[in-house]
């Protein structure tokens, strides 16, 4: 730590705000949304508007619903997180013998030991911690079992979302899930596949991160 710089800067800052009355930060409540089905519909509409494929699938049969999506996209290597509930149901529902199904590749080792693999798989499937309906975002909380690169490096990202975890707004999900109490090392809101408009303001997808995003919303 550069102690002299710290001391100098802080003393100048203290002098600068001396006598300034602290301003009370205001509350902001975004316009309320209709609840229930309409909330999920809004989420779906906003995600689809940014070229995201959204499927509502039965909670107990999501693995079956995933298969045709992977087949149709020609996915041959699917990265997943073993040891997570999603990983376990994927393992249980996968017939490794079926020739047209992609090979399951578990993310088991630290990135340093499997970087090439992570950069070479065709797709990854991850969980989500919820979603924000008013802006159309998924919330991902990568952790020890489900590394952050899964939703970033492979060209296709499949995110599984529980319909019960769709909230009105970012503020609402922050409060409900008590984010401030314990932030993970990495938390990311995802709204569609990677995009850019840096060339002539023309929208193009998949410049660095995933070229495609598929969301499976689990419903009862």
Partner 1 sequence: MGERPAFDFRGNILRALADGQLRRNLQSAMDGLIRKRRAVFDDPAELEALRTVGQSLKQAALSRLPALLEELEANCTANGIQVHWAETAAEANRLVLAICQGERATRVVKGKSMVTEEIGLNHFLADHGVEVLETDLGEFIIQLAGEPPSHIIVPAVHKNRDQIARLFHARIPGAPYTEKVEELNAIARRTLRQKFFEGQVGVSGVNFAVARTGSLCLVENEGNGRMCTTVPPVHIALMGLEKVVARLEDLPPLLRLLTGSATGQIVTTYVNLISGPRRPGEKDGPRELHLILLDNGRSRILADPELRQTLQCIRCGTCLNHCPVYVRIGGHAYGFVYPGPIGEVLTPQLEGLARAGVLATASSLCQACGEVCPVRIPLPDLIRRMRTDGACQGPGGPEDGCRPPLWESLAWKIWALVNTHPGLNALGNALLGRFGRRLPRRGPLAAWSAVRTPPRFAPKSLHALAVKEGLPHE
Q: Do residues 68 and 89 make contact, with C-beta atoms less than 8 angstroms apart?
A: no
> Is residue 210 close enough to count as binding partner 1 by CB under 8 A?
yes
CB contact set of 74 (below 8 Å; sequence gap of 6+): 122
- Number of Cα atoms under 13 Å in the Cβ half of residue 134: 14
In the complex, least distance from residue 78 CB atom to partner 1, rounded to whole angstroms: 17
- How does strand 204-205 pair with strand 212-219? unpaired
Tell me the Ramachandran region of residue 23: left when phi exceeds 0, alpha when psi lies from -120 to 50, beta otherwise.
Answer: beta
> Is residue 24 close enough to count as binding partner 1 by CB under 8 A?
yes
Handedness of CA 110, 112, 113, 115 (dihedral sign): positive
Positions 154 through 183 that interact with partner 1 (CB under 8 A): 169-171, 174-175, 179-180, 183
In the complex, least distance from residue 208 CB atom to partner 1, rounded to whole angstroms: 4
> Is residue 92 close enough to count as binding partner 1 by CB under 8 A?
no
| List 61, 109, 164, 176, residue binding partner 1 (CB under 8 A) | 109
Q: Do residues 93 and 119 make contact, with C-beta atoms less than 8 angstroms apart?
A: no
* Calpha distance 53→162 (Å, rounded): 16
In the complex, least distance from residue 188 CB atom to partner 1, rounded to whole angstroms: 5
Positions 129 through 158 that interact with partner 1 (CB under 8 A): 132, 134-137, 142-144, 147-149, 152-153
| List 40, 123, 190, 217, residue binding partner 1 (CB under 8 A) | 190
Only segment of 35-43, 70-78, 88-96, 194-202 that touches partner 1 (CB under 8 A): 194-202
> Is residue 32 close enough to count as binding partner 1 by CB under 8 A?
no
> Is residue 45 close enough to count as binding partner 1 by CB under 8 A?
no
- Residue closer to partner 1 (CB basis): 90 or 190: 190
> Is residue 6 close enough to count as binding partner 1 by CB under 8 A?
yes
Give 167's strand partners.
132
């Amino acid at each position: 730590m550069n102690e002299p710089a710290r001391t100098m800067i802080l003393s100048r800052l203290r002098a600068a705000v001396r006598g300034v009355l602290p301003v009370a930060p205001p509350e902001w409540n975004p316009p309320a949304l209709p609840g229930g089905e309409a909330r999920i519909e809004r989420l779906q509409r906003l995600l689809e508007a940014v070229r995201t494929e959204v499927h509502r699938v039965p909670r107990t049969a999501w693995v079956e619903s995933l298969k045709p999506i992977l087949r149709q996209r020609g996915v041959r290597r699917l990265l997943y997180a073993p040891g997570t509930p999603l990983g376990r149901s994927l393992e249980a529902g996968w017939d490794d013998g079926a020739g047209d199904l992609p090979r399951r590749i578990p993310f088991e080792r630290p990135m340093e030991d499997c970087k090439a693999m992570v950069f070479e798989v065709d797709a990854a499937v991850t969980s989500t911690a919820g979603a924000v309906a008013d802006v159309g975002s998924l919330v991902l909380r990568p952790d020890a079992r489900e590394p952050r690169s899964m939703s970033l490096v492979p060209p296709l990202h499949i995110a599984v979302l529980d319909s019960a975890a769709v909230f009105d707004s970012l503020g609402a999900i922050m409060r409900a899930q008590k984010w401030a109490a314990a932030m993970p090392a990495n938390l990311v809101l995802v709204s569609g596949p990677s995009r850019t408009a840096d060339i002539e303001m023309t929208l193009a997808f998949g410049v660095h991160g995933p070229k495609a995003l598929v969301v499976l919303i689990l419903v009862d």
